[in-house]
C-alpha cells in the first residue's frame, strides 16, 4: 500500500475539482481526502495500490473540464498522516 500527498495549483477551486477527485478516487478504490487550502490550492491525500495512485495522479494533471491545472506537487507520505478511516467524502 502506498500513500501520497498532492498539492494541485491553478484554477482548482470552484470548478468541481474536489468532487471530480472523489469520483476518480472511489472508482480506483483509494482512501483519503481532497480539501481546499486557503492559498487557492487543493490538497489530496490518497492511500491505496501504487497503480491506482498513479492513475489518480495522471487525472490530477488535468482535472474536471472547468479546471485549469498549473502544477501538481507529489510527495510520498505515510499512512499514519491520514486520520483513521479517512475517506474521499464531502467536507
Which pLDDT value is given to residue 8? 99
Annotated active-site residue 58? The verdict is: no
Which is the catalytic residue, given 18, 22, 31, 41? 18
Please give the backbone phi and psi of residue 85, each rounded to the nearest 5 degrees, phi first: 80, 10
Segments of the chain scoring below 50 in pLDDT: 84, 90-91
Bridge partners of 43? 7, 35
What pLDDT score was predicted for residue 87? 64
> Structural domain boundaries of the chain?
2-80
- 2-80: CATH topology is Alpha-Beta Plaits (3.30.70)
36 is catalytic: yes
Predicted local distance difference test score (pLDDT) of residue 90: 47
Give the pLDDT confidence score for residue 78 in this predicted structure.
84
pTM for this one?
A: 0.88
Q: Which of 5, 31, 35, 36 is catalytic?
A: 36
Amino acid at each position: 500500500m502506498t500513500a501520497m500527498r498532492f498539492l494541485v495549483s491553478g484554477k482548482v477551486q470552484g470548478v468541481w475539482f474536489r468532487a471530480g477527485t472523489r469520483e476518480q478516487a472511489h472508482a480506483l478504490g483509494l482512501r483519503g481526502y481532497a480539501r481546499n487550502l486557503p492559498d487557492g490550492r487543493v490538497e489530496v491525500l490518497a492511500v491505496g495500490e501504487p497503480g491506482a495512485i498513479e492513475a489518480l495522479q495522471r487525472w490530477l494533471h488535468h482535472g474536471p473540464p472547468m479546471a485549469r491545472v498549473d502544477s501538481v506537487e507529489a510527495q510520498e507520505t505515510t499512512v499514519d498522516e491520514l486520520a483513521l478511516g479517512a475517506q474521499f467524502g464531502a467536507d
